[in-house]
Amino acid sequence: MSPQRRTGATLAGLVVVIAAMIGLVIGSVPLYRAFCKATGIGGPPRQVAADSAAPSGKMVTVRFDASVAKGLQWRFTPQVREVKVRLGEDTLAVFTATNLSDRPITGNAVYNATPDKIGKYVAKIQCFCFTEQTLEPGQSVDMAVSFVIDPAMAADPLSNEVGTITLSYTFFNTNTAPDERGRS
């Protein structure tokens, strides 16, 4: 094979590899969401209108993790780092966000529950993470999340040993382009 044909074959191979990688990047978020929805493994907790299960006797510790994406000039913290909750009991947690910049900033929080196998048992009734939040320069606000841990968790042999759940929230700046936030 001539050097020109080898160069052409290599170039064609690289184009195919790059196109496949772009396709995976574009399709990864919808595929991940579909996988989580189908299996109930990982992913964000589900949203419900109100808790429907009766509280059980089992208690778990729920820890709260709060962070902001790079470039977002906010301070974001939970008012309480952890609480003990009874499965099936409506629980309220409050977070405080402060805009540290000299301009209004709009942010949106994404959330997740760990360990991953617990996500399907965490139900959000109301959450600041459902809508964008705009803070004026120097403004601090308290934001609440109301959630319930489904008592069915205690009957699941894959999750009944879990004694500690972490609910994580990360605020992203919605005033910037998606590639500047690190997500699309």
Of residues 151 and 17, more confidence is placed in 151
Topology (CATH level 3) of domain 46-177: Ctag/Cox11 (Pfam 04442) (2.60.370)
In this prediction, residue 15 carries a pLDDT of 84
User: Are 87 and 106 in contact, with CB atoms under 8 Å apart?
Assistant: no
**Per-residue pLDDT reduced to its tens digit, 25-66:** 676 556 655 555 544 444 444 444 444 556 667 899 999 999
**Per-residue pLDDT reduced to its tens digit, 101-154:** 999 999 999 999 999 899 899 999 999 999 999 999 999 999 999 999 999 999
Q: Which of 168, 159, 165 is nearest to 62 (CA)?
A: 165
Cα 88 to Cα 32, 60, 68, 181, distances in angstroms = 28, 11, 30, 35
Between β-strands 122-127 and 133-135, what pairing exists: parallel, antiparallel or unpaired?
unpaired
Q: Which of 73, 68, 69 is nearest to 99 (CA)?
A: 73
Residue 154: half-sphere exposure toward Cβ, Cα within 13 Å: 14
In this prediction, residue 88 carries a pLDDT of 92
**Per-residue pLDDT reduced to its tens digit, 64-92:** 999 999 989 999 999 999 999 999 999 99
